[in-house]
Structure 1
Amino acid sequence: MRKLLIFSLFLVVLTTFVFGGWEFESVFYTEPGTEITNAYGAHGIAVDPAGNIWFGMYNYPTDSTVTATDTIYYYGPRVFDPSGTELSMSPIKMLTIDGVTDTLFSSCRGLATDKDGNILLTVSGALYRINYQTGEGMNKYVSTDIGTGSWTKAGVDAEGRIFIAKVVPGGGPIKILNHDFTELGNAVSSWSQICRALQVSADGKDLYTGSTWNGKGIIHFHSDIPGVLEYTPVDTIGNRYIEGVLDTTWIYTSDTTIVGTDTTITIDTTFTTEPYYSVLWPEDITIGPEGKVIYAANTQGEWSDKYRGSRWLAFDLETGEELYTIGTPEFDPEKPYVNGAIWNGRGAAWSADGNTMYLIDFGYCNITKWSKTAAVDDNVGNIVRTFSLYQNFPNPFNPTTTIPFTIENSGLIKLIVYDMLGHEVATLVNKKMNPGSYKFEFDATQHATGMYIYRLTVDGKQMAKKMLYVK
């Protein structure tokens, strides 16, 4: 009987494929001819207000026309209704804007929706807006500052401002556009990290970029007045793992060394020793429908670590805490798709009710469909917490500020302030405390102006927030 029970449980695990409350439902679409090949194709996904799914290709054309002298290849997006039927306007091969027709020869770099639900298509050197109902072109943006190379997926805030940049290692601005595609200025004048995707909070004050090849994870910027004050780096999310423990204070100093709050760690890139070092290399980042969780597609296993490669990871935007992972690592170009597998994620999008998630995979060149189970909620407020850390007041401050928090259970409490290099500035609390609400004052008189992080630790669990000291 016991053996039968174990087998039954094992069978359930094999057939349900539930990750963090997201259950694999089906392969929604696979680009023809790429079923068993490393096609390096899928590179954009969005869901419009009608529920239609827009799908962009990078290195594999969506259509072609044979002429007497040549073959013309098109890389415009495909469009499907929720049942998987391709719409008559799909694939979109040309866009006419202000009397000028552009043929979509260039690979798709990303898809997003603007505040009205219209489609933002990024290609090399340009950003287009497409009417989601007709498939017709509406606007086009080019920038001599960004240049003609590969651009990122666009980020959009609730006011309709659009954020766009170039995918480069050598530097370049992150631009802010008004809803009508006119430039507001630079969000960041020069940024040297490779980022295939940008995301922005609904209020436009927090900007996130995903950095690959350098192991900095998700980089978080902040501006108190978007479009007026430039964004400055605040912290990172998911940038360092040692034995699975996240510490956003660790700083990458060279190819072989990282320096943290408590220790300096030598990197073992062969993964032959424990604790092992690994990095989050987000090929895509997407903020979930509730605006409280950011999803990051960790890249192929051989580019990351032997345990965590090729998965989607969900992080709490407020605390940086990893909530769960989605998918199983799979990156064998000689094998057909395995249900629930992730090879090289490049985009995520949700139905209007937030109950269906669509993920695209660069290696498998497909769209997979996932259903929300009763066990998951993208609203982090539904995650049970036994303590709360609140924003300091006043903020900004000079030179003192008050940090409030509450705890529901007795335990060992630590409240520590760090500078942006991860150095400990002040320990405000380090003792056992009873349940209740508390306030502690931080005096920055002896410290430099700038951004600081304060972190509350309750029996090993952490929350952190930022505060600004201005003289």
Structure 2
Amino acid sequence: HYYYIKTHQAHGISERSAIVMAYPKANDDTAHVLLVDDDGSSWAGGIDESWAYIQALLDAGIAFNGIDLSNPWDSPLLGTLSLYDAVIWFTGILYSDSLTLSSTDEANLATYLTGGGNLALFAQDYLWDRYASGFTPSDFPAIYFDLDSAYQDAWQISSSVSGLLSGYVGGLFDGMDFAVSSPFGNSDLWPDYLYADSNFAWFEYGTTNGPTICGKTTAGYKTVFSTIPLAALIDGMDPATREEFMRRILLDYFSIIGPANVDVTYTMSPGWHMTSLPLDLPDKSAATVFPGTATDVYLYNPTISNYETVDSIIPGYGYFVLYTGDTSFTHNGPPISSFEAPLETGWNMVGSIYADSTVPFADATFTPDYFLSGNFYAFDGSGYISSTGFDPGEGYWVLVSSPCTLSLGSSGRRRIEPERKILTLDFEGTIVEIGIGENTIGHIPPATPFGSGPAAYLIENGERCLKVIKETGEWELVAERNGIMRYRNPGGVKYILRDDGENLILSGEGDILLKAGEYTITAEILPEKYGLHPAIPNPFNARTILGFDIPEDSDVRLIIYDISGRQIRTLVDKQLPAGSYKSVWDGISDSGAEQPSGVYLYRIATDTGFSETRRMLLIK
């Protein structure tokens, strides 16, 4: 026989050794993981299985400390649990009298998890011990493992047979297939069939197969619950090894060792900047985060509808800073990949997370969803602009109708804002947006500290706005002073600006000079394809209307022919902007002669290659 020895101390567990003298594992102050040995092997004659966890962690190079619960009433203190990013807890073959997890254990773990911890529990008989007759939605397994119910002892596996444990495709243990056998000698393994909201692996033996490992993912904590102990997994070909199994839980899923530090560079030109901090810097004082500012750092307080100066910077919120000269600085630190920011009714300044690319606004969630659609703005140094996402280091305005919480970087996803073809007007740095679609009003965020209001705005329902989307109607535009207005129309809608009785078509891109005053803008949805409409009326006596559509600017010719093909009248022969048109024929030729009753043809042709011919009947 081959024997080994290990010792269990209050501060750790020794490594296995074939030498009689063994030293306890020294406490590691850098450890992120706490291993809780609750298998009863040190006091109840239980089968020791700590070797599997210890060896897997050592092989994976993951620093850990251990606690061996030396009696049935022993339990790690909450203060001890809170020192670690993750807890691995295993209970061996214990199965009764709260020897797996006690109510005290559950209470401590609940507080630990809600405080941001992570838990992997390996316990084949935890549910039998504490919840043999079932559990309710308010019990620990339902809340923290998302368990709905369990078919207990679904399989019986001895040490002489093996079943198959497989990870779900696309899940935490994807690509892993383990042979499973009882590690408890003469005692069999009794895994449970778990009915959970999120399953990680299933077990197959005999005629029964089903999930045996589940867990829960939240913005604050993550859990894994397995009714198959790690010691029951038989190492196979990579990646099916106990080392990789633990590495995926702790590093890939729990992320106990965060990503490497990253750089965020701020390039500040003279003027105001709306910015944020997407790094977890050790020193978050305003002077350190934004060095060289010309004034204090400002955060908007919606409860008093005014700005306040701040001494420290909180990730998740946005701030205004002022620089009087070109300034550039770089911060290096752990990236912030998610945050939750409480919001008050009204306008709130929010920040961003660190990401390699723009995080879509659709990835932000509001709980409850009191966000007012269309009211998400960035600041470009001269005015507010609608934004479609979050960039690292930038700040943003959001408008909510009631207190709620903004979450970014979690698994949630809000409804995607509908795509609309927007007319963008840039008047002296103020961006105004007009569009046709579901009603949306973009209100005006507060001005920068010590700043003035926008140079131009829309009036809708008596309110000043920067964006108005509606199904039909007119838009009232106000220019506060004389200036150049640049416009950009992506197409699909014809917008017409009325200026002193003159109609200006805002097509494509361009700029016009506006005087201070009020203007009206109307819109017409452009056709999607070319078309020639039936004459109305047809037959006709004195006159008829001929309609046609052109989806883009085109040279158009609309000509009347008699039935023999002789040209009678040219109604249109010029370039027209995209739109729908109507032309009237009164039965008169180009020379002014009245035409006799009969069948006539009318034909449209454009420089884009479109042509169509229709018939009409003139009756006198």
Q: TM-score, with normalisation over the residues of structure 2?
A: 0.21
Ranked by relative contact order (alpha carbons within 8 Å, sequence separation 6 or more), the top structure is 1
- Greater strand proportion: 1
- Greater helix proportion: 2
